[in-house]
Chain A
């Protein structure tokens, strides 16, 4: 739970960002920075895997919204995967699901970019 980490997997036209730990301001800023780098490098199809992130606060949510917005500006797409049931309900309630896809696993999330 306390482990704090971000892993990037780039594969041709898409990239996967996997987070671990509490998605608050600190982890969120790292995530946003990684996303910015990927977008600058031409990746507009992203998957964020939150399987190892069981805790998110409102700042983490706002950072995810920024990433969605940045991708939409470049006509890109973002899919989430590995969400707990509560996280999925939270994302739907906070309207993230309106602008990004939610899928159970990474493979499906990539396939639906």
Chain B
């Protein structure tokens, strides 16, 4: 195959050069030139209209037609204000040649420029192109233009067998230059159409796709990547607003290194830009201020690289992302629109319209993904609540046992599907009993697990403190008998709960150790509401009121020791005595007038029904609380445990 850089020369013409030029030879060359002009036309309409590729053919035809052995075609890029060498004979790589707009204006006025006598106004151009002139041996330049638009320039050197072109050859060169100019303009038009076709296709293609993404992270990534792609950008970012629209947080950036270039506020992995009305002004950060105004005004914004500290000084364009309700969900940013040859071009008004249109679709996609995520989380929460409810149901006794000489009755009414209250009546193998009531902070699975941990720890501790071992099972448990042992048990339970939860997870806890043989009730309070003891003779006492420690799991043991150690006490029960255990859901029940039920009403209600059975007392107290509550909402779990000495 023929080397594409080699000039096409008529064989006869090559043989006859060096001899006297005759009219016949001139005619022959003109006929050859006409056929080459046709070749030029075919090149123009064939293929993809890509000038950079076909420029070698144009140069080849030009050199061959004019019998010139060396030449070059340079294409003008107004964005970068330079001339790119797109074809040269001999083939060689040259750096782009910068050219000022004043020089472009001068070139538009000149049909030919001789290298030997360049106009003074083009002095800088000839300095910049000195290497090219020398390497190619360029002697004659012909500007490429259509009307007032400068498109490039052809340089020719080494005219075969002569020092310069004849007049008719220059006319032919002008015709060839016009053809090449048309080819460049055609190429620009085709490139523009292809680019627009690509952008519109990508917009049409990507919008429905991103709307189908269900994960917010995926939607954010695709929104950025698609915008970067169809705007020919080199970077992009999605920043979403906080619910109050006071902050912008980076959701996704391309390339990832983009985030590392900023010295703006970082909070761990999060990049935050305060953007509310009161947001501080960041010095030398035009892009930050631009993003703020996009959020606050809801209008697109531009930002030039100068004085920019965000996104590494890129040429930025940003548009707001509207939500369904008219809120601004965030800002979509693209940076550095590229042109062929690595030049960075400014974003155009059409770019803004295109990105703004895409941002509307992006808003739908982002909201869809977040709604899906919320629905998923709600379903997961529901499933978790159901699991928590099952755990809790298993912790609350279905039926309370018969304690010889005593009656026991309990009532548990959670506010929601899963409550935070717990009560139990644990049978000990020695014939003694452990009665516990607790209120675990929080709701849901964490509360249920904390409750399960408390119950397991309680049973384990009852075994350990009595047997001096933690290996015993429930059946081997002996009753704790001393105050110190109960206090130690409380410390162990505190340590267990503290280690198993967060700071917000704790439990108020009241434990009673009952010996039915001696009717001695040993009690320990860890921050729980003091149970009410009402004697047969009408006297009463709030148990653990003066010796109550702090709730379990709230602080580590060493801190508990320094604040208030757990203390136990005991009472002896006689026939007709009643102990009313309860949680704060009882005393903090609120009526329609925003009054609390409080301990006084509980005391009066208990006193009124103390002579009834444990079941009757439970019913009476529950009814009294419900009557007080009336139409008001229940705000907390409601738990009662009644112990009555027969």
Contact = CB atoms under 8 A, between A and B. Distances in A.
A59 B225 contact: no
B201 A69 contact: no
Contact of B48 (A22, A25, A65): A65
A41 interface: no
B53 A25 contact: no
Contact of A94 (B194, B229, B340): B194
B339 A25 contact: yes
A1 B339 contact: no
A24 B230 CA distance: 11
Contacts of A93: 197, 201
Interface in B517-540: none
B256 interface: yes
B206 interface: yes
Given A62-B50, A66-B53, A94-B194, A57 B340 contact: no
A72 B48 CA distance: 12
B342 A29 contact: yes
A70 to B, nearest CB: 7
B116 interface: no
Contacts of A1: 225, 254-256
B52 interface: yes
A55 B338 CA distance: 15
Interface string A39-77: 000000000000000111111011001100110111000
A6 interface: no
A74 B218 CA distance: 43
A95 B322 CA distance: 35
A73 B57 CA distance: 11
Which size bracket describes the interface of B in this complex?
Answer: 35 or more
Contacts of A55: 225, 228-229
A69 B47 contact: yes
B339 A90 contact: no
A77 to B, nearest CB: 16
Given A25-B340, A25-B342, A90 B205 contact: yes
B194 A58 contact: yes
Contacts of B1: 74
Contacts of B341: 25
B202 interface: yes
B50 A2 contact: no
A25 B234 CA distance: 9
Interface string B325-365: 00000000000001111100000000000000000000000
Contacts of B279: none
Contact of B257 (A2, A29, A62, A89): A2
A63 to B, nearest CB: 8
Interface string B170-209: 0000000000000000000001001101110110011001
B567 interface: no
B232 A58 contact: yes
B209 A69 contact: no
B198 to A, nearest CB: 4
A94 B225 CA distance: 20
A56 B229 contact: yes
Nearest to B209: A86
A59 B202 CA distance: 14
Interface of B: 1, 4, 47-48, 50, 52-53, 191, 194-195, 197-199, 201-202, 205-206, 209, 225, 228-234, 254-257, 338-342
Q: Ordered nearest first, which 7 A-B pairs have the shortest CB separation?
A: A2-B255, A58-B198, A58-B195, A57-B232, A66-B53, A25-B338, A93-B201
11 contacts: A1-B255, A22-B228, A55-B229, A56-B229, A57-B198, A57-B338, A58-B194, A58-B199, A62-B191, A66-B52, A89-B205
